[in-house]
Amino acid sequence: MKRILDVKNLQVSLPTPNGNLRAVRGIDLQVNKGEMLCIVGESGCGKSMTSMALMGLLPKRAEVTAEAMHFDGMDLLSLSKKERNQVRGMRMSMIFQEPMTSLNPSYTLGNQLCEGIIKHKKVSKDEAKKRAVYLLERAGVPYPEKRLDQYPHQLSGGLRQRVMIAMALMCEPDLIIADEPTTALDVTIQAQILRLIRELQQEFGTAVIFITHDLGVVARIADRVAVMYAGQVVETASAQDLFADPQHPYTKGLLNCIPIPGKTLPGSHLESIPGVVPSLIGELKGCAFENRCNASTGECCYRSPSLENHLGSAAHQVRCPIATASFQEAV
């Protein structure tokens, strides 16, 4: 399997009046060609920051560093501004959370769909339009020809998100980053959009980084999962492994928060994780999850755990010495 994205020790920090906000604290990510990687975590865990850093869309004041940020063999961080623009949009594209505000109200959908491909692939306007119509149709937008001359305000939120998906596919990118693309939509439409993304991903063989806070979504579409907490990946595994055999106390806590049809009885108490996320300003001492963890020991307060292989396999990694240790004891 070919690796399309390889990120090592990505760090993002933002200056704020109260100090340096270290939103992403050393993340490793690998995405293979045609794979769907889900990044899960609660809001503020740095998952959106990660995606913006990958796209190069963070504001200038944000400081992005990484040991490696390779995209199909290219080092993204060493590209010139122009080369980066070429990669972004043509080879990697993005779907955003807010379909209502993510399209420019002043231009027609056709204009916005086509401008990227006309710039990057130097195709004619007609060819671009043809592709736009084809993709709109594939994205399930009714009357695709007519849509090209319409303005965003004439479409519903669900339709606009379909347009955004078509737009992301225009240049046949190798990687699409979808940042909570279903969060702002109605539940019924959410399911349709999810299915659509999964279908198109498999049809076009595009790799997708799907960012969400909803484990239910993850269960439905992910090949692999990375769980993020306080700017770090705390557990990463294939979707099957993660749901069948969660290791990190935070992952377990998250899974306990979801009601399971048939298992969770109506009216029964639903779990929640007590406490709040630690402030990401300045350094963190010890394990970031220590204050909310029910398995924490004294050592967790001052030793920062690293991401270790679980069962000796790099396919499942956990950032918790207790989880790994308890396993070793069991053997």
Partner 1 sequence: MLVFIFRRLLVAFSVAITVSVVSFMLLHLSGDLAISIAGPESTAAQVEQIRIDFGLDKPMVYQYFDWLWGAVQLDFGRSYYFQDTVMGLISERLPVTLTLGALALALATVIAIPLGVIAAIKQDTWIDRLALTIAVIGQAMPSFWFALTLIVIFAVNLQWLPAGGNESWQHFVLPAIALGYYAMPAMMRLTRTGMLEVLNSDYIRTARSKGLNESTVIFKHALRNAVIPVVALAAVELGFMLGGSVVIESVFSLKGLGQLGWDAITRNDYPVVQAVVLIIAVFYILLTFLADVINAMLDPRLRVR
Partner 2 sequence: MSDATGSNLSKEQLLLPAVPEWRRMMNRFLGHRGLLMGSIILGLIVVLAILAPWLAPHDPYLQNISQRMIPPVWHEKGSWEHVFGTDKLGRDYLSRLLYGARISLTIGLSAALISGLIGTTLGVLAGYFGGRVDAVISYIITTRLAMPVVLVALAMSALVGGSLQMVIILLGLLLWDRFAVVARSTTQQLRDAEFIASAKVLGASTTYILVRELLPNILSALIVVMTLEMAHAILLEATLSFLGLGVQPPMPSWGLMISEGKAYMFFKPWVIAIPGIALMVLVLAINLVGDGLRDMNAPEGRN
- Residues lying near partner 2 in the complex (CB under 8 A) are found at 14, 16-18, 21, 23, 43-49, 52, 57-58, 276-277, 279-281
264 binds, among partner 2, partner 1, none (CB under 5 to 8 A by kind): none
Q: Which is nearer to partner 1, 26 or 89 (CB)?
A: 89
Token reading at 7: 């990120």
- How many residues are there in the chain? 331
Residue 69 touches which member of partner 2, partner 1, none, C-beta under 5-8 Å by kind = none
φ, ψ at 12 (rounded to 5°): -130, 130
Stretch 56-75 residues interacting with partner 1 (CB under 8 A): 57
Integer Cα distance of 275 and 255 in angstroms: 17
Q: Is position 88 an interface residue for partner 1 (rule: CB under 8 A)?
A: yes
Task: Name the binder of 18 from partner 2, partner 1, none, CB < 5-8 A by kind.
Answer: partner 2
Among partner 1, partner 2, none, what binds residue 14 when CB lies within 5 to 8 Å by partner kind? partner 2
The answer to whether 94 contacts partner 1 (rule: CB under 8 A) is yes
- The partner in contact with residue 48, picked from partner 1, partner 2, none with C-beta cut-offs of 5 to 8 angstroms by kind, is partner 2
Tell me how far apart the alpha carbons of residues 69 and 66 are, in angstroms, rounded to a whole number.
6
Query: Rounded CA gap, 216 and 200, in Å?
Result: 20
Nearest to 307 by CA among 215, 223, 227, 219: 227
* Min CB(122)–partner 1 separation in Å: 14
Residue 103 binds which of partner 1, partner 2, none (CB < 5-8 A, kind-dependent)? partner 1
Q: Which is nearer to partner 1, 11 or 86 (CB)?
A: 86
The encoded tokens of residue 251 equal 């992952």
Which two tokens mark 177? 């980053």
How does strand 308-310 pair with strand 313-318? antiparallel
Measured CA to CA in angstroms, residue 151 lies from 46, 105, 111 at distances of: 33, 7, 10
Q: Which does 167 bind (CB under 5 to 8 A by kind): partner 1, partner 2, none?
A: partner 1
Choose one: 28-36, 148-156, 276-284, 323-331; the region binding partner 1 (CB under 8 A). Answer: 148-156
Partner in contact with 23, chosen from partner 1, partner 2, none, beta carbon below 5 to 8 Å by kind: partner 2
Beta strands 36-40 and 68-71: pairing type? unpaired
Report the C-alpha gap between 30 and 295 in whole angstroms: 29
> CB-hemisphere CA count at 13 Å for 224?
19
Map residues 97-136 to x or -, x wherever contact with partner 1 holds by CB under 8 A: -x--xxxxxxx----x--xx--xx----------------
- φ, ψ for residue 236, nearest 5 deg: -140, 135
CB nearer to partner 1: pick between 50 and 247:
50
Residue closer to partner 1 by CB (options 145, 149) is: 149
Asked if residues 77 and 64 have their Cβ atoms less than 8 Å apart, the reply is yes
CB of 325 to partner 1, least distance (A): 43
Determine which residue in the list 5, 31, 96, 310 makes contact with partner 1, applying CB under 8 A.
96
Helix (H) or strand (E) holding 256: helix 249-256
Which residues are within 8 A (CB) of 175 and not within 5 positions of it... i.e. 6 or more apart?
Answer: 4, 5, 31, 71, 91, 92, 93, 206, 207, 208, 209
Binder among 13, 48, 50, 93 for partner 1 (CB under 8 A): 93
Q: Residue 28 — φ and ψ, nearest 5°?
A: -110, 130
156 binds partner 1 (CB under 8 A): no
- Residues at the interface with partner 1 (CB under 8 A): 55, 57, 84-90, 93-94, 96, 98, 101-107, 112, 115-116, 119-120, 151, 153-154, 164, 167
